Amino acid sequence: MTNLLRKTDHLLEKFEAGLICLLLSTMILFSFGQVLLRNFFNQGILWADIFLRQLVLWLGFIGASLAVREMRHISISFLPQFLPATWKPRVDFVVYLFTSAISGILAYAAWEFVILEKEFESILFLNVPVWIFQTVLPYSFFIISLRFLIKSFDSLMASIKSK
Chain segment 4-26, per-residue pLDDT in tens: 888 888 999 999 999 999 999 99
Q: Positive or negative CA dihedral for 131, 137, 142, 143?
A: positive
C-alpha to C-alpha distance for 65 and 76, rounded to whole angstroms = 18
The answer to whether the CB of 78 falls within 8 A of the CB of 116 is no
Which candidate, 130, 123, 125, places its Cα nearest to that of 48?
A: 125
Mean pLDDT of the region 107-119: 97
The answer to whether the CB of 9 falls within 8 A of the CB of 69 is yes
Please state the pTM of the whole predicted model: 0.89
* Residue-wise pLDDT tens digits, 38-69: 999 999 999 999 999 999 999 999 999 999 99
Ranges of beta strands (E only) in 53-134 are: 123-125, 128-129
Q: Where are the domains of the chain?
A: 2-75+83-161
C-alpha to C-alpha distance for 130 and 109, rounded to whole angstroms = 17
What share of residues in the chain are helix, strand, coil (percent, to 5)?
80, 5, 15
